[in-house]
Structure 1
Amino acid sequence: MKKYVIWDFNGTVLDDLKLSVDLLNLMLKRQNKKQLTVEQYLDVFGFPIKTYYEKAGISFEKESFDEMANFFISQYQPESLNQSLNKGVKKTLERLKQLGVKNILLSASEQNNLEEQIKHFKLDHLFEAVLGTDNIKAHGKVYKGIDYLKTHQINPKDCLYIGDTTHDYEVAQALGVEVLLYTGGHQSERVLNQTGARLVTGISDIIKYI
């Protein structure tokens, strides 16, 4: 039995797909670029964020990547509090805690923004640790995770990671932990399948793999 479940936040815990697509299209519209459908978004989204923006059609001729990232977060953070959790998230977190499994949140989101979201959705008591980054450009998730496991002397074999992107697969590989990828997040099942990882269509399915 696993002792820890490491959770991604955006797209895994929080259902922010529509918000993210809407904001991308707002940025494209500001540049008079063609907007994307949800299906197109699911095929181009990825990390690094700058590469994903470029794939989506955004250029950095008039606005720098830093300016675009700041604009996105200024719009995203307040609106994220109006979104919903993915179905089954809270019950699964509660069930894992009942089983004695420790939930760890590991996100590319900036730490203060992440803590605001977790408190707003009343999830803070369900997580052993909330690990965000020190920037708004989604840099540093791997290092945060590695540092936490080392500092707390956690055996990677005792961990299960749940995310919704190929980047989550890469993070899990870097941490040396088992991974499940959720198909209801920010990337299409076709894209996720390229990793060869096990896929789950519902968050509550995690319990089967503990």
Structure 2
Amino acid sequence: MSKYKCMLFDLDGTVLNTERMNMIPLQRLIKEELGLEINYNDLLKYKAYAGIKTLEELGFKDIERSYSKWVKYVNEFEEGATLFDGFEEVFEELNNRNIICGIVSAKTRDQYEIDFIQKGLDKYVKCEVLADDTELHKPHPDPLLKAAEILNISPSDCLYIGDTIFDYKASKAAGMDFGLALWGADFTEGINADYDLKEPKDLLEIQ
């Protein structure tokens, strides 16, 4: 019997490996529009941000136009999103244990359909809260609280799994325990997770 009725998942860097498909097109966009060459590893800190926020932080002027261009480059990138190893088994087993699964991500709905629904795991997901579903985004707790509200579950009965400081801060502000997806995390300073998870299947050990 698990202590949690629900597990909520971030997508990028947690369920889906989308690093290269996002960062290489971003490098291209920065070079084209800002005339700058930024090292790949120096861009990894922006994985924690929503797309629009990333472009704001980098100093793009016409955010909407640049974001549309970035999305186009991402969709054209030959390496698409891939599931981190073990998630098919994890979602299936959690479903068998009657643990409710949900998605809380800063992805747009269009990108969610391309990157996640096409993997066929959405049949295990009882709710998804995406970029357009709340006005405030992580590290604010609103997206997580919205998911708990939709599912009619107390936040204290939910575990949120993510890979960034923003995921951690959002979970704590929402009154949820936090599992750190070490397989996708690049920066862990300041994160005092309830569970440090080395691989997706470690989720099945939580009782």
2:28 alignment partner AA: L
Question: 1:34 matched to which residue of 2?
Answer: 37
**Residues 1:59 and 2:55 are matched in the alignment:** no
Out of 4, 11, 19, which is 2:6 matched to? 4
Instruction: Give the gaps of 5 or more residues in structure 2.
Output: none
Deviation at 1:74, TM superposition (A): 2.3
Q: Root-mean-square deviation (CA), in Å?
A: 2.6
* 3-state SS in 1 of match to 2:188: helix
Query: Runs in 1 of length 4+ with deviation above 6 angstroms?
Result: none
Q: Deviations over 1:137-160 (max 9, x none)?
A: x95354232123234431122111
Q: Is the contact made by 1:81 and 1:120 (CA closer than 8 Å) also made in structure 2? A: no
Question: 1:184 matched to which residue of 2?
Answer: 183
Deviation at 1:171, TM superposition (A): 1.7
Instruction: Give the gaps of 5 or more residues in structure 1.
Output: none
Deviation at 1:81, TM superposition (A): 8.1
Q: Is the contact made by 2:21 and 2:79 (CA closer than 8 Å) also made in structure 1? A: no
Return the TM-score normalized by structure 1.
Answer: 0.82
Deviation at 1:178, TM superposition (A): 0.5
Deviation at 1:70, TM superposition (A): 1.8
Out of 1, 15, 18, which is 1:16 matched to? 18
Q: Is the contact made by 2:18 and 2:80 (CA closer than 8 Å) also made in structure 1? A: no
* 3-state SS in 2 of match to 1:129: strand
Deviation at 1:26, TM superposition (A): 0.8
Sequence identity, in percent? 20
Aligned residues: 200
Deviation at 1:53, TM superposition (A): 4.2
Aligned CA distance change for structure 1 residues 116 and 22 (closer, same or farther; 3 Å): closer
Return the TM-score normalized by structure 2.
Answer: 0.83
* 3-state SS in 1 of match to 2:107: strand
